[in-house]
Protein backbone atom coordinates (compact mmCIF):
# COMPACT_ATOMS: atom_id res chain seq x y z
CA UNK A 1 0.00 0.00 0.00
CA UNK A 2 2.80 2.43 0.86
CA UNK A 3 4.56 1.82 -2.48
CA UNK A 4 1.30 2.54 -4.26
CA UNK A 5 0.92 5.85 -2.37
CA UNK A 6 4.48 6.84 -3.28
CA UNK A 7 3.86 6.06 -6.95
CA UNK A 8 0.61 8.02 -6.96
CA UNK A 9 2.28 11.00 -5.24
CA UNK A 10 5.14 11.02 -7.76
CA UNK A 11 2.72 10.93 -10.69
CA UNK A 12 0.61 13.60 -9.02
CA UNK A 13 3.64 15.85 -8.60
CA UNK A 14 4.49 15.44 -12.29
CA UNK A 15 0.91 16.25 -13.28
CA UNK A 16 0.79 19.43 -11.21
CA UNK A 17 4.31 20.75 -11.85
CA UNK A 18 4.86 23.91 -13.90
CA UNK A 19 4.85 22.09 -17.25
CA UNK A 20 2.67 19.20 -16.14
CA UNK A 21 -0.40 17.68 -17.70
CA UNK A 22 -2.84 19.91 -15.82
CA UNK A 23 -1.23 23.10 -17.11
CA UNK A 24 -1.04 21.66 -20.63
CA UNK A 25 -4.76 20.86 -20.47
CA UNK A 26 -5.56 24.37 -19.24
CA UNK A 27 -3.44 25.82 -22.07
CA UNK A 28 -5.81 24.21 -24.59
CA UNK A 29 -8.48 26.61 -23.34
CA UNK A 30 -6.15 29.60 -23.19
CA UNK A 31 -5.85 29.50 -19.40
CA UNK A 32 -2.40 30.23 -18.08
CA UNK A 33 -1.09 27.48 -15.83
CA UNK A 34 0.63 27.87 -12.52
CA UNK A 35 3.12 25.87 -10.48
CA UNK A 36 0.44 24.12 -8.42
CA UNK A 37 2.80 22.24 -6.13
CA UNK A 38 5.34 25.05 -5.77
CA UNK A 39 2.81 27.79 -5.01
CA UNK A 40 2.02 28.17 -1.27
CA UNK A 41 -1.57 29.15 -2.10
CA UNK A 42 -2.31 25.94 -4.01
CA UNK A 43 0.13 23.32 -2.65
CA UNK A 44 -2.20 22.11 0.09
CA UNK A 45 -5.12 22.08 -2.34
CA UNK A 46 -3.20 19.69 -4.58
CA UNK A 47 -2.70 17.38 -1.59
CA UNK A 48 -6.43 17.52 -0.88
CA UNK A 49 -7.17 16.76 -4.54
CA UNK A 50 -4.77 13.81 -4.32
CA UNK A 51 -6.63 12.46 -1.31
CA UNK A 52 -9.95 12.79 -3.12
CA UNK A 53 -8.43 11.08 -6.16
CA UNK A 54 -7.69 8.02 -4.01
CA UNK A 55 -11.31 7.35 -3.00
CA UNK A 56 -11.56 4.23 -5.20
CA UNK A 57 -11.38 1.67 -2.39
CA UNK A 58 -14.23 3.22 -0.34
CA UNK A 59 -16.36 3.34 -3.48
CA UNK A 60 -15.80 -0.38 -4.04
CA UNK A 61 -16.85 -1.00 -0.43
CA UNK A 62 -19.98 1.14 -0.96
CA UNK A 63 -20.81 -0.80 -4.11
CA UNK A 64 -20.44 -4.09 -2.26
CA UNK A 65 -22.71 -2.74 0.49
CA UNK A 66 -25.33 -1.69 -2.04
CA UNK A 67 -25.24 -5.13 -3.64
CA UNK A 68 -25.92 -6.73 -0.23
CA UNK A 69 -29.23 -4.91 0.32
CA UNK A 70 -32.02 -7.44 -0.31
CA UNK A 71 -34.29 -6.51 -3.21
CA UNK A 72 -37.25 -7.54 -1.04
CA UNK A 73 -36.84 -4.30 0.90
CA UNK A 74 -37.15 -2.21 -2.25
CA UNK A 75 -40.14 -4.24 -3.45
CA UNK A 76 -41.86 -3.80 -0.08
CA UNK A 77 -41.22 -0.06 -0.18
CA UNK A 78 -42.66 0.13 -3.71
CA UNK A 79 -45.78 -1.79 -2.60
CA UNK A 80 -46.20 0.66 0.27
CA UNK A 81 -46.14 3.51 -2.25
CA UNK A 82 -42.74 4.93 -1.31
CA UNK A 83 -41.09 7.14 -3.91
CA UNK A 84 -37.39 7.23 -4.74
CA UNK A 85 -36.45 9.70 -2.02
CA UNK A 86 -38.40 7.90 0.69
CA UNK A 87 -36.96 4.53 -0.40
CA UNK A 88 -33.48 5.98 -0.29
CA UNK A 89 -34.00 7.57 3.12
CA UNK A 90 -35.89 4.72 4.79
CA UNK A 91 -34.41 1.63 3.12
CA UNK A 92 -31.07 2.30 1.45
CA UNK A 93 -29.44 4.57 4.05
CA UNK A 94 -30.36 2.51 7.14
CA UNK A 95 -29.25 -0.77 5.57
CA UNK A 96 -26.08 0.83 4.23
CA UNK A 97 -25.27 2.60 7.52
CA UNK A 98 -22.75 -0.04 8.73
CA UNK A 99 -20.82 0.38 5.47
CA UNK A 100 -20.99 4.17 5.75
CA UNK A 101 -19.72 3.92 9.31
CA UNK A 102 -16.89 1.57 8.32
CA UNK A 103 -15.75 3.90 5.53
CA UNK A 104 -16.10 6.94 7.79
CA UNK A 105 -13.83 5.44 10.43
CA UNK A 106 -11.23 4.23 7.93
CA UNK A 107 -11.15 7.48 5.94
CA UNK A 108 -11.00 9.61 9.10
CA UNK A 109 -7.94 7.70 10.26
CA UNK A 110 -6.44 7.80 6.75
CA UNK A 111 -7.03 11.55 6.65
CA UNK A 112 -4.65 11.98 9.55
CA UNK A 113 -1.99 9.95 7.78
CA UNK A 114 -1.15 12.38 4.99
CA UNK A 115 2.58 11.88 5.37
CA UNK A 116 3.54 10.21 2.09
CA UNK A 117 1.98 12.70 -0.30
CA UNK A 118 3.24 15.71 1.67
CA UNK A 119 6.73 14.24 1.86
CA UNK A 120 6.94 13.46 -1.86
CA UNK A 121 5.37 16.69 -3.08
CA UNK A 122 7.51 18.91 -0.84
CA UNK A 123 10.72 16.86 -1.12
CA UNK A 124 10.54 16.20 2.60
CA UNK A 125 10.55 19.85 3.67
CA UNK A 126 6.88 20.74 4.03
CA UNK A 127 7.40 23.57 1.59
CA UNK A 128 6.78 25.86 -0.08
CA UNK A 129 6.78 28.07 3.01
CA UNK A 130 5.43 25.22 5.18
CA UNK A 131 2.16 25.08 3.22
CA UNK A 132 2.28 21.26 3.09
CA UNK A 133 3.75 20.74 6.54
CA UNK A 134 1.15 18.35 7.91
CA UNK A 135 1.41 17.01 11.45
CA UNK A 136 2.91 13.65 10.52
CA UNK A 137 5.57 15.26 8.31
CA UNK A 138 6.43 17.71 11.10
CA UNK A 139 6.70 14.77 13.51
CA UNK A 140 9.06 13.01 11.09
CA UNK A 141 11.19 16.14 10.60
CA UNK A 142 11.48 16.69 14.34
CA UNK A 143 12.40 13.08 15.05
CA UNK A 144 14.64 12.20 12.13
CA UNK A 145 15.64 15.61 10.77
CA UNK A 146 16.40 17.48 13.99
CA UNK A 147 16.99 14.30 16.02
CA UNK A 148 14.63 15.49 18.75
CA UNK A 149 13.34 11.99 19.46
CA UNK A 150 11.75 12.85 22.81
CA UNK A 151 9.73 15.68 21.29
CA UNK A 152 8.76 13.51 18.31
CA UNK A 153 7.74 10.70 20.66
CA UNK A 154 5.52 13.07 22.63
CA UNK A 155 4.01 14.30 19.37
CA UNK A 156 3.35 10.70 18.32
CA UNK A 157 1.59 9.95 21.59
CA UNK A 158 -0.51 13.11 21.24
CA UNK A 159 -1.33 12.06 17.69
CA UNK A 160 -2.34 8.58 18.86
CA UNK A 161 -4.52 10.08 21.58
CA UNK A 162 -6.20 12.49 19.14
CA UNK A 163 -6.92 9.82 16.52
CA UNK A 164 -8.05 7.34 19.19
CA UNK A 165 -10.34 9.90 20.80
CA UNK A 166 -11.89 10.85 17.49
CA UNK A 167 -12.39 7.19 16.59
CA UNK A 168 -13.99 6.52 19.99
CA UNK A 169 -16.26 9.53 19.45
CA UNK A 170 -17.31 8.11 16.08
CA UNK A 171 -18.14 4.77 17.73
CA UNK A 172 -20.22 6.48 20.42
CA UNK A 173 -22.08 8.57 17.83
CA UNK A 174 -22.51 5.48 15.66
CA UNK A 175 -24.84 3.96 18.27
CA UNK A 176 -27.48 6.51 17.26
CA UNK A 177 -27.39 6.18 13.49
CA UNK A 178 -25.82 2.84 12.53
CA UNK A 179 -28.44 0.12 12.05
CA UNK A 180 -27.30 -3.49 11.89
CA UNK A 181 -29.36 -6.44 10.58
CA UNK A 182 -30.23 -7.38 14.17
CA UNK A 183 -31.99 -4.02 14.55
CA UNK A 184 -34.31 -4.88 11.66
CA UNK A 185 -35.70 -7.94 13.44
CA UNK A 186 -34.50 -10.35 10.79
Long-range contacts of 1-5 (CB under 8 A, 24+ apart): 2/116, 5/54, 5/116, 5/117
pTM of the model: 0.78
pLDDT above 70 (res 125):
yes
28 pLDDT more than 60: yes
Which pLDDT score, from 0 to 100, does residue 178 have?
94
Spatial neighbors of 88 by CB under 8 A, at least 6 apart, are none
Q: Decide if 59 is inside a domain.
A: yes
What domain range is 173 assigned to?
55-184
pLDDT in the model for residue 162: 95
> Could you tell me if residue 90 is inside a domain?
yes
Number of domains in the chain: 1
pLDDT (0 to 100) of residue 46? 83
- Identify whether 180 is part of a domain: yes
Question: Is the CB of residue 180 less than 8 Å from the CB of residue 94?
Answer: no
Asked whether the CA dihedral 110, 111, 114, 118 is positive or negative, the reply is positive
Confidence label for 141 from pLDDT (cuts 50, 70 and 90): very high
What is the pLDDT at residue 67? 95
> According to the model, what pLDDT value does residue 11 have?
73
Residue range 14-36: mean pLDDT, rounded? 81
Mean pLDDT for the stretch of residues 135-154: 95
What average pLDDT does this structure show over 105-127?
86
pLDDT for position 4: 65
- Write down the pLDDT at residue 47: 84
Q: Is residue 113 part of a domain?
A: yes
Q: What CATH number does the domain containing 90 carry?
A: 1.10.3720.10
* pLDDT for 147 beyond 80: yes
pLDDT in tens, 51-93: 888 888 899 999 999 999 999 999 999 999 999 999 999 999 9
The residue ranking higher by pLDDT, 50 or 162, is: 162
Tell me if 130 is assigned to some domain.
yes
Given this model, what pLDDT does residue 89 score?
95
The answer to whether position 80 is within a domain reads yes
Instruction: Measure the CA–CA gap between 65 and 181, rounded to whole angstroms.
Output: 13
Q: How far is CA 118 from the centre of its chain?
A: 14
Name 76's Cβ contacts closer than 8 Å, sequence gap at least 6.
Answer: none
Give Cα 4 distance to the centre of its chain. Answer: 15
- Domain assignment present for residue 42? The answer is no
Amino acid sequence: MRQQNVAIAVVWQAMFSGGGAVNQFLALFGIEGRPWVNDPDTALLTLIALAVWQLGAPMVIFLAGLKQIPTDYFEAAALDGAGRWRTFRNVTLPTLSPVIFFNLVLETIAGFQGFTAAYIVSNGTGGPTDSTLVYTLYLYLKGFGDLEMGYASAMAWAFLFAVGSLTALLFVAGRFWVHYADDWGL
